[in-house]
Chains A and B, each alone.
Chain A
Amino acid sequence: MRGRFPAGIMPNPREQLPDLLLRNEGRWIRHEALRPGVLRHVSSSGEECVTVRVQLPPGGVLSVESFCALADLVDEYAQVGRRTSRNAFELVGVDVARLDELVERLAKRGFPVGGTGRSLHQIKACGGFMTCQNAAIDSPAIAKVLGDRLFGDVMAQRYPSWLKISIGGCPNQCGGGIEADIGLLGVFKGLPQVDDAAIVESQCDVPLLCFWCPTGAIKPKAVRGGMSVEINPDRCTRCTSCSNVCPSGIEMGGQRGVAVVVGGSAGNARRGPRLARLLVPFIPLESPLECDRLLELVVLVIEIWAEGARVGERIGDFVDRIGWPAFLRRLGVDFDPYLIDNFDPLSVRRDLRIRWNSDNGSC
């Protein structure tokens, strides 16, 4: 029987919206970048809506104090706040005469304005070690270290196109990565460790464990007191399905590290939506703050792209044009046989249209 909870309320966007946006619904006709991080939308009514975008901390976390500070600034300078789909924050309906003042106050509170156009957009990260039991790597720490390193590019408009970096702490990819221009994915190298006693004790769903394993690596085995499982090391891909079904009985083991993927993009202009592709399958990560090798690789990918891409080309467009072998060569990244997808034969070419030793690849 339904009680008072849950109340069954679908949040209504119209309740949050100011008159400016309600009366101009469907009437916006163009927009432009007033300066990095600041957009102006113009309505056919002649009215304008200025939006200031700020970067939020990794993992999307805010203290109540900062959340209130943002609310106060929305109240004082704008008409409504908005969380963007990359977990940045926008102050919408800003009074353009007081723009400088607002930007300065935001910066003072630690909210840099930027992440629009040809810049580094908000680095998206999951909660990592901060809020999650599954994380292989601490994505917020990596996002912070990377953000500090690339900080100038949040404002600068120096890239060929926009750059979106996402960091997912484990193969479940809540933080994304596989959709981004550059994705950093937390991965486990070791075989999951099975604790027979814990599986029996927690009355774990063994059939579900076997069914959900994508490669059939798990089979049941009888143990004292009940049923446990056995994991075939030749088949296990460390996808974490099993440890998700039975967290107390199966623990992801061994070394943790980062897989680097590049060239993902959503949207249908140019290539259409595509998942990013593997560039380096495993960079060991001894500590989330000691990630120089990872940082250097990310910076190198950005520089090679910034140097070689045509204006408007995102990383994926650029790699498509020059080809993967040429891209790897320019990066100085050795070809790793693990770049061949053992589960999808289509990652190997079925034509002979090969650019031998061609580096610029323009055709």
Chain B
Amino acid sequence: MSLEMDQHPESTLCDRLSQGPYPSHVRELRKSSYPLRMLEEGLRANRTQWGAGGYVSVPPLLSGVSIIGSSRPEIASELVCLRLLSVPGGFLSAKTMRGIAEVAQRCGHGFVRWTTAGSLELGIRREDMLDAVAAANELGLDVGSTGDDVRSISACPGSFRCDLAVVNAPDIAYSIGCATIDDQQFPGMPNKVKTAVAGCPNDCVRAQMQKDHAFVGVFRGAPEVDREMMDWWFREGVHSASSAGSWAVKGLDDLVRACPGAAMERRGDSVEIDAASCLHCMLCINSCPAIRPGSERGVAWVVGGKYGHRGANGPMVGFVLAPFIPAVPPDYEEVVEIHKRFLDLYADYGRRKERVGDMLVRLGLRTVLELMDLDPDPAILQEPAHRMFVVWPEAGGGSEP
């Protein structure tokens, strides 16, 4: 059960991974009581030495504890990790970080690990798990994000630190998170549901690709041009190597040419943007600080993204099922409501182990919109169907799957 400090004399492959300038996971593991011999033997055999285990629960925690089994019980019998729900935006104060470190040291093996979806994993001894969770609760953090539940709700820094943010992503993620905290801590879904809120269409959190059920900040109307800032950009920014984006777009003529919607025309030392041609893609806003997102702002609802190759369709980019939902602070009611409504749909219609994207393909997107009681917005159409296959309900066809 216990993971002993490894003093294996021949950790030669691990030694090699401790050297070199790039940060090293082995250097970190050496400073913890992670059983390094498991990794060394894995590297030698070119095969992981961990074995079947999975998300075994430690009562009364039904979610948030991952227990990985071992095929080398003589080295380590299991690897137990506590997963903490991510703070939307990824912010952690120094005080919180020290608190987390204290828990990982006192109740565990002295290491922490950010998962690629944004949760923070702490190596914790099984018998100290509840102590660790209680201590995390004191820090305003909680356990979750394993198995078939709503996973950690991630967000970019949003309006708290980013000039490009269209909506305050961490705020929206927090509202969604508060409304679905039970869904995050009790596994009741057909499979995992990854959720994120991206502050703008640049989608730094991969809401459209990594996440099953996500929202992306969007605006309608033309981007706004700030004349004063444009003068500044001309004077200093555009010539300065430091101005973000200026390496990709050199000056206004270049910006006009780069516009994917051909929506921009030069007018003296500024530009005019045609709202009807604008693709709202962010390219000009990324490249020139004098161009800002328009003021009519909301979120797009994007569903079905995933990276994994399991299930019927493999990796998918999510579908835009609602291109504009008003996002009204402080409660973002409409966004929260759509988030919950779709979770119910997925719980009802998803088959066991079927990811959201696979379910959408099976049911048909028009059917999903019907079940969601949402009128399809013509803006979601990439191109119309090329088959005449319609199940006409008024002529005896079913309207439900």
Contacts and interface: CB of A to CB of B under 8 A. Distances in A.
B48 A133 contact: yes
B90 A65 contact: no
A57 B23 contact: yes
Contacts of A133: 48, 50-53, 68-69
Interface of B: 13, 16-17, 20-32, 34, 38-39, 42-44, 46-54, 60-64, 68-69, 79, 81, 84-94, 96-98, 100-101, 104-105, 110-118, 120-121, 130, 133-134, 137, 140-144, 154-157, 159-163, 165, 168, 170-171, 173-174, 177-178, 181-182, 184-185, 201-206, 208-210, 226, 229, 237, 240, 242-244, 247-249, 258, 260, 279-283, 286, 289, 292, 307-317, 351-354
Interface string A273-302: 111000000000111110000000000000
B97 A70 contact: yes
A338 interface: no
Nearest to B46: A287
Interface residues of A, number: 131
Contacts of A25: 159-160, 168
B23 A55 contact: yes
A87 B114 contact: yes
B91 A266 contact: no
A126 to B, nearest CB: 6
A144 B22 CA distance: 6
Contacts of A144: 17, 20, 22, 24-26
Contacts, number: 413
Interface in A308-327: 311-312
Given A28-B161, A71-B94, A172-B309, A110 B24 contact: yes
Given A80-B93, A168-B307, A245-B353, A85 B68 contact: no
Nearest to B29: A61
B170 A13 contact: yes
Contact of A214 (B111, B144, B312): B312
Contacts of A80: 91-94
Contact of A82 (B60, B90, B243): B90
B42 A138 contact: yes
B159 to A, nearest CB: 4
A241 B311 contact: yes
From B22, B162, B248, residue with most partner A Cβ within 10 Å: B22
B91 A81 contact: yes
Contacts of A248: 52
B97 A67 contact: yes
Contacts of B24: 57-58, 110, 144
A131 B81 contact: yes
A345 to B, nearest CB: 14
A8 B97 contact: no
A117 B85 CA distance: 29
Contacts of B307: 168, 172-174, 176-179
B209 A6 contact: no
B317 A9 contact: no
Given A57-B25, A147-B23, A84 B90 contact: yes
A284 B366 CA distance: 43
A10 B171 contact: no
Given A16-B92, A179-B209, 15 more contacts: A5-B61, A5-B143, A8-B181, A9-B137, A10-B177, A11-B142, A32-B244, A58-B23, A83-B92, A83-B114, A132-B68, A141-B13, A208-B352, A268-B280, A272-B281
Contacts of B20: 144, 147-148, 151
